[in-house]
Amino acid sequence: MKACLLLLLCAPALAQDLNVGRSLAATCANCHGTQGRSRGPAMPPLAGMKADVMLESLADYRRGAQPGTVMPQIVKGYTEAQLRLVAAYFASVPAAQARP
């Protein structure tokens, strides 16, 4: 009972965090598509990616372990807290369904 009450009390804060994450992730749409749903094979889709997987990849870009054209610069423009919000947002977006 207490756990359910705690979850209900935290729900508005979680929704607000996802909205902040969505706002921060708007920049990603330029390359990765709206809501992280890429339109072609050139860019990996972000929708539905597990947050820990995304954060590990972003950390690789930040420290230079993963080469990239603009990603190393972009990721350095965000704080760790902001990157966690972005990763949580994309993890909450359902992955695009494959088209027949």
Please tell me the distance from the alpha carbon of residue 32 to that of residue 29, in angstroms, as a whole number.
5
Whole-model pTM above 0.85?
no
Q: How confident is the model at residue 89 (pLDDT cuts 50, 70, 90)?
A: very high
Torsion, Cα of 76, 78, 80, 81 (10° steps): 180
pLDDT of residue 19: 87
- CA 37, 65, 85, 3 dihedral sign is positive
Cα 75 to the center of its chain, rounded Å? 12
Q: List domains and CATH numbers for the chain.
A: 12-92 (1.10.760.10)
Half-sphere exposure for 55 (CA within 13 Å, toward CB): 15
Tens-place pLDDT, residues 25-62 = 998 989 998 889 888 888 889 999 999 999 999 999 99
Average pLDDT, the chain: 83
